[in-house]
Amino acid sequence: MRVLVVEDSIELLEIVAQGLRDHGFAVDIAPDGANALEQTAVNRYDVVVLDRDLPQVHGDDVCRAVVAGDGQTKVLMLTAAGTIDDRVSGLNLGADDYLPKPFAFAELVARIQALGRRAHPALPPVLTHADVALDTARRTVTRGGRPLALTGKEFGMLQVLLGARGAVVTSEELLEKVWDAHADPFTNTVRTTLSRLRRKLGTPELIETITGAGYRLR
């Protein structure tokens, strides 16, 4: 899942971003409203975690712009303005959820995951194919009952492929959904990670390359 965190407190921004990355999210950051608008114009996000009182462009205006966009990106307002009136006005702007500061990080993660499920067709909590099982909540993968130690990117790549249910997934889609804005689209990042994932999955080989198109599960 790809997330944009918009927060003008650099310390909090870095803490939240790193914590979400540790939970397997692909995370981009924006320290102000103008930068947030630039990033949402060129990248597709599942969830935008949005502070309200932002410099340059107010968070309310960012929210309006995101809501007026593709209609699939969900907005979670994360702000110190936590009165009932603040929450009501934020939700009336089109925000999908509202979490006042201070907050429990586990709750933030749970709310982002819930919004992500709403942004896409519902998938079961445990994705399976042949003898492979991926538990999205526990972040575990097994093959033939044997646990596999995957990195965050390998896990994310396998999750996207399993979620596609046999459809072809392009390298661009994998780069967009599993990595963040710092990933270089001209490198062999996807191919290298896929090679490591294939080795860890073992035989018989599960992922096949469709020349000129992408990858899919056999």
pLDDT digits (tens, 9 = 90+) for 11-60: 999 999 999 988 888 899 999 999 999 999 888 888 999 998 899 999 99
Biggest alpha carbon–alpha carbon distance for the chain = 58
For the chain, the domain total comes to 2
Query: The domain that contains 177 carries what CATH number?
Result: 1.10.10.10
Domain boundary among the residues 70, 103, 119 is at: 119
At 159, which helix (H) or strand (E)?
A: helix 152-163
pLDDT tier at 82 (50, 70, 90 boundaries)?
Answer: low
Domain boundary among the residues 119, 154, 178 is at: 119
Residues 6 and 113 occupy one common structural domain:
yes
Residues 182 and 213 occupy one common structural domain:
yes
Domain boundary among the residues 119, 146, 168 is at: 119
Residue 201: name the closest of 133, 136, 152 by CA.
Answer: 133
pLDDT tier at 182 (50, 70, 90 boundaries)?
Answer: low
pLDDT value of residue 116: 81
pLDDT value of residue 183: 65
Residues 22 and 42 occupy one common structural domain:
yes
What are the tens digits of pLDDT across the range 114-143? 888 776 655 667 888 889 999 987 889 999
Residues 34 and 100 occupy one common structural domain:
yes
Residues 90 and 131 occupy one common structural domain:
no
Q: Residue 159 sits in which domain range?
A: 126-217
Which is more confidently placed, 198 or 69?
198
Residues 95 and 199 occupy one common structural domain:
no
Query: The domain that contains 8 carries what CATH number?
Result: 3.40.50.2300
Residues 85 and 150 occupy one common structural domain:
no
- Amino acid (one-letter) located at 116: G
